[in-house]
């Protein structure tokens, strides 16, 4: 058995090494063919991924409905002369899933019925006033040029330098107008078809989420069985403990951050309505949506919103900046800690690094998921380090190694070992 385990480890190491080499070779020498294959697989499995994500997010809501209805369900069984149950089965689970999705659909309908008309009106107003905003910016530019003759002279010189190249660029662009119009038309049809595909994937994902929620205990049991069948009992137990810990971090952050952003968006809508800000629905959506991105999100939402209000009323832009600052202080000191707590446990430095890396590789979704993924990896790294230190009977507290380092630095240098002649 030990011989088989040793060979199995070698085989696994060789497999991982070969996969890493293939990924490296494909990325740098084959123009990302593997990435295209993974993208195609993700497109095919999109309904399944949507369903799993929705089931993961809605599991606490289903559990809450079940816990609330279970006492009444057992009382009803007692009146019928049947024993009480502790688990969730049959139509109780079905009713909980039905209530959960009914609540979600009702919330989405209310939000869309209230927000979408105002959002459309804000966009229409923004488009209608675009010419006025252009004139405003043009006036600011003229005033700036009049107050700064040297800057105006430098810009005039730059324009003269680029005038000839701009003319040749326009001459080369004219023959391509037909191709450009054709590509724009194709892009519109592609966007429409993409929206239809997304809607179909979403509907299928909802159906899959219902099946996953209905059988989540059975799926969990089968996963545990598979782990225990492949690993020793102590290693399987350690793996499951680590998985629960990482799930607690990941789910707590994702669900908490979504709820926190929804609250911030609602508070922004209420505050902007009281202050009579222009484009209140549009700004509230931007502030709430960007708030899901840790650290950088408030800036990404506030800066374009302030600029948009500045075009209408500079004084209101100042009021809005102060309001957003107060709102973010409320979020950072009251709302966020109440909802999220210390769900990640990672330092601000690693938060920034993880967001930059996640955003660079996977865009906005990567920025959102980078922090919980980094926290989960930190838990895994801590477990592996503690396990290695325990085997060597060394302390687990990091402060002990600071003391060891200071002791080593203060110790006199040892004599050099004699060299062989």
Q: HSE on the CB side for 232, CA within 13 Å?
A: 5
Hey, what's the torsion of the CAs at 390, 395, 399, 402, to 10 degrees?
A: -100
Give the separation between CA 402 and CA 385, rounded to whole angstroms: 16
Give the separation between CA 95 and CA 102, rounded to whole angstroms: 10
Reference 213, options 67, 69, 97; nearest CA is: 97
pTM confidence score: 0.67
Give the separation between CA 43 and CA 29, rounded to whole angstroms: 24
Question: Is 403 part of any domain?
Answer: no
Residue 322 has pLDDT above 90, yes or no: yes
For 9-51, strand residue ranges (E) read none
The average pLDDT across 54-76 equals 82
Question: Is 252 part of any domain?
Answer: no
Kindly report the average pLDDT of the chain as a whole number.
78
Stronger pLDDT, 322 or 342, i.e. the higher one: 322
Q: What is the token pair recorded at 142? A: 């003229």
* Overall domain count for the chain: 1
- Determine the structural domain holding residue 92 and report its residue range: 47-154+194-215
Q: What is the token pair recorded at 82? A: 């049947």
The average pLDDT across 242-264 equals 84
Give the separation between CA 252 and CA 244, rounded to whole angstroms: 12
- Cβ(136)–Cβ(313) under 8 Å? no
Question: Is 117 part of any domain?
Answer: yes
Lowest mean pLDDT among 41-55, 62-76, 225-239, 323-337: 62-76
Give the separation between CA 16 and CA 200, rounded to whole angstroms: 36
- Cβ(57)–Cβ(30) under 8 Å? no
Interval 93-122: pLDDT, tens: 888 899 999 999 998 888 788 777 777 777
Question: Is 130 part of any domain?
Answer: yes
Question: Is 128 part of any domain?
Answer: yes
Interval 154-176: pLDDT, tens: 777 766 666 656 555 555 555 55
Give the separation between CA 92 and CA 33, rounded to whole angstroms: 48
The average pLDDT across 44-71 equals 87
The backbone torsions φ and ψ at residue 302, rounded to the nearest 5 degrees and listed phi first, read -75, -40
What is the reported pLDDT for 421?
42
Give the separation between CA 225 and CA 217, rounded to whole angstroms: 12
Question: Is 53 part of any domain?
Answer: yes
Q: What is the token pair recorded at 339? A: 């909802």
Question: Is 83 part of any domain?
Answer: yes
Interval 205-239: pLDDT, tens: 999 999 999 888 888 899 899 888 888 888 888 88
Q: Where are the alpha helices (DSSP H) in 275-296?
A: 280-290
The average pLDDT across 290-309 equals 84
Question: Is 14 part of any domain?
Answer: no
């Amino acid at each position: 058995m030990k011989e088989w385990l040793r060979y199995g480890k070698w085989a696994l190491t060789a497999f991982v090494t070969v996969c890493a080499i293939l990924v490296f070779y494909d990325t740098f020498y084959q123009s990302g063919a593997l990435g295209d294959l993974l993208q195609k697989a993700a497109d095919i499995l999109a309904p399944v991924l949507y369903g799993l994500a929705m089931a993961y997010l809605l599991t606490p809501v289903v559990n809450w409905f079940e816990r609330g209805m279970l006492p009444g369900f057992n009382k009803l069984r007692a009146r019928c002369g049947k024993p009480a149950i502790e688990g969730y089965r049959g139509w109780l689970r079905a009713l909980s899933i039905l209530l959960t999705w009914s609540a979600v659909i009702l919330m989405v309908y209310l939000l869309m019925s209230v927000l979408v008309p105002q959002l459309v009106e804000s966009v229409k107003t923004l488009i209608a006033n675009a010419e006025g905003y252009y004139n405003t910016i043009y006036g600011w530019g003229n005033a700036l040029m009049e107050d700064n003759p040297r800057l105006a002279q430098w810009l005039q010189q730059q324009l003269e330098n680029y005038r000839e190249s701009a003319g040749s660029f326009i001459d080369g662009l004219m023959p391509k107008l037909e191709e450009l119009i054709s590509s724009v038309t194709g892009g519109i049809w592609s966007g429409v078809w993409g929206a239809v595909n997304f809607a179909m994937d979403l509907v299928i994902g909802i159906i899959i989420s219902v099946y996953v929620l209905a059988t989540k205990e059975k799926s969990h049991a089968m996963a545990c069985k598979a782990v225990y069948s492949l690993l020793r009992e102590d290693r399987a137990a350690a793996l499951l403990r680590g998985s629960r810990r990482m799930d607690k971090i990941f789910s707590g952050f994702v669900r908490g951050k979504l709820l926190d952003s929804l609250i911030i968006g609602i508070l922004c809508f209420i505050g902007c309505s009281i202050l009579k800000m222009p484009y209140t629905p549009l700004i509230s959506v931007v502030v709430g949506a960007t708030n899901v991105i840790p650290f950088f999100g408030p800036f990404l939402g506030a800066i374009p919103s302030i600029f948009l209000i500045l075009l209408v009323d500079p004084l209101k832009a100042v009021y809005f900046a102060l309001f957003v600052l107060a709102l973010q202080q409320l979020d950072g000191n009251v709302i966020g800690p109440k909802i999220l707590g210390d769900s990640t446990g990672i330092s601000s430095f690693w938060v920034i690094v993880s967001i930059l890396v996640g955003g660079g590789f996977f865009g906005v979704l990567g920025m959102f998921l980078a922090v919980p993924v980094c926290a989960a990896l930190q838990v895994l790294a801590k477990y592996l380090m503690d396990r290695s230190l325990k085997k060597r009977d060394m302390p687990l507290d990091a402060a002990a190694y600071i003391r060891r380092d200071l002791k080593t630095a203060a110790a006199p240098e040892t004599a050099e070992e004699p060299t062989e002649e």
